[in-house]
């Protein structure tokens, strides 16, 4: 039972112009938790508007030229191959960034939250608490069409086949690429490498607030709809080419992001109320991270223009 009912919480928020705050923060203010007050909440909302104006309007969130083209589904086999190769490098280098985030966590809870992502990425299936449908075909253990997008890796089962890289590898193989054609730094374009290194530097930063700003930026980018654009494009490509590439790597991540998006605001509020956030630094680091993301997509866009089109 909460100390205050939902209706009174809404009244409390309305009277103080705090309607856009999450119920978690409102409850913390009512309860007088350390760091939480009406005055600080009002300053947070001013910061939140600044984030909308100065960070979330970044072109990589608002308008992504590459995914807008990709979504039309008119890519040639060479262009799809090149895309999968660059994505596979990002997928592997993300492990390095995520491991740094684990190591640089400044609390046990933070370390565990980062390990959830890392362990899941390398193949530990989330335990969602719901009873999963029994997988009778051993070939489908770890299949992204079947594994959960929520829950915890604690007590979860490790499957080689549940590694996200292996999901990508299936697509690569269908495209005629071998294990050694994907995933390594030497397969990357300079733009992809710049992005991966920015992820390691910022998302995996030793500075807690830098890593949080980069996480916030990355999560907002991921929730902005690029997964859906990639899925649409690949679905059309499959229809046109009759190739039947497995898309579950993409549909799984799209489902995952739909859940993350709900938590992003809660996490930002928690950070702001419980830490001393330097607003200018947060916006600067967030933008640096999004510039890295933009470099990745710009690199893909430049590369596809040099390849034979369909």
Would you tell me which residues interact with Fe ion (CB under 5 A)?
Answer: 164
Q: How far apart are CA 254 and CA 223, in angstroms?
A: 8
Cβ-count burial of 157 within 10 angstroms (0-12 exposed, 13-18 middle, 19+ buried)? middle
Q: Shortest Cβ distance from residue 202 to Fe ion (Å)? A: 18
Least distance in angstroms from the C-beta of 253 to Fe ion: 6
Least distance in angstroms from the C-beta of 35 to Fe ion:
33
Give the nearer residue to Fe ion in terms of CB position, either 115 or 164: 164
> Which lies closer to Fe ion via its Cβ, residue 101 or residue 164?
164
User: Minimum Å distance from CB 96 to Fe ion?
Assistant: 14
DSSP 8-state class, residue 201:
I
Residue 248 or 307 with smaller CB distance to Fe ion: 248
As to burial, measured by CB atoms within 10 angstroms (0-12 exposed, 13-18 middle, 19+ buried), residue 225 is: middle
Which CB, 126 or 273, lies closer to Fe ion? 126
Token pair, residue 127, equals 């335990």
Q: How many residues does the chain have?
A: 310
Closest Cα partner for 230 from 216, 204, 258, 249?
Answer: 249
The answer to whether the CB of 190 falls within 8 A of the CB of 299 is yes
**CA-CA distance, 168 to 113, in Å (whole number)?**
24
CA distance linking residue 59 with residue 67, whole number of Å:
12
Crossing angle of helices 226-241 and 208-222, rounded to 10°: 40
Least separation, in Å, of the C-beta of 95 and Fe ion?
9
Q: Between residues 164 and 201, which has the closer beta carbon with respect to Fe ion?
A: 164
Whose CA is closest to 222, among 297, 142, 110, 170?
297
Q: Give 25 or 149: the residue with its C-beta nearer to Fe ion.
A: 149
- CB of 257 or CB of 269, closer to Fe ion: 257
For residue 70, the minimal CB distance to Fe ion (Å) is 18
| Sign, CA torsion 119/124/128/129 | negative
CB nearer to Fe ion: give 227 or 272: 227
Give min distance, CB of 165 to Fe ion, in A: 8
Residue least distant from Fe ion (Cβ): 164
CA distance 63 to 261: 18
Smallest separation, CB 34 to Fe ion (Å) = 36
CA–CA dist 253, 164 (Å, integer):
10
């Amino acid at each position: 039972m909460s100390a205050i009912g939902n209706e009174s919480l809404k009244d409390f928020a309305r009277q103080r112009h705090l309607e856009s705050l999450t119920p978690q923060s409102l409850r913390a203010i009512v309860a007088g938790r350390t760091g939480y007050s009406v005055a600080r909440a009002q300053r947070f909302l001013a910061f939140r508007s600044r984030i909308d104006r100065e960070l979330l309007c970044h072109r990589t969130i608002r308008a992504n030229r590459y995914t807008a083209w990709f979504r039309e589904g008119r890519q040639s086999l060479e262009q799809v191959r090149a895309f999968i190769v660059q994505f596979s490098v990002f997928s592997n280098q993300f492990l390095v960034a995520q491991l740094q985030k684990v190591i640089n966590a400044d609390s046990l809870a933070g370390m565990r939250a980062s390990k959830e992502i890392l362990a899941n990425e390398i193949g530990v299936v989330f335990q969602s608490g719901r009873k999963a449908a029994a997988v009778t075909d051993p070939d489908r253990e770890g299949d992204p069409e079947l594994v959960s997008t929520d829950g915890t890796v604690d007590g979860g089962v490790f499957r080689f086949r549940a590694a996200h890289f292996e999901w990508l590898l299936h697509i690569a193989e269908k495209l005629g690429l071998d294990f050694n054609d994907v995933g390594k730094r030497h397969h990357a374009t300079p733009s992809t490498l710049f992005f991966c290194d920015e992820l390691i530097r910022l998302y995996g930063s030793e500075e807690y607030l830098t890593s949080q700003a980069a996480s916030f930026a990355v999560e907002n980018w991921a929730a902005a709809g690029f997964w859906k654009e990639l899925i649409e494009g690949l679905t059309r490509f499959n229809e046109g080419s009759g190739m039947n590439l497995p898309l579950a790597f993409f549909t799984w991540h799209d489902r995952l992001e739909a859940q993350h998006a709900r938590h992003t605001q809660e996490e930002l509020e928690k950070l702001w109320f419980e830490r001393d956030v330097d607003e200018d630094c947060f916006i600067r680091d967030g933008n640096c991270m999004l510039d890295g993301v933009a470099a990745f997509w710009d690199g893909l866009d430049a590369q596809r223009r040099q390849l034979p089109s369909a």
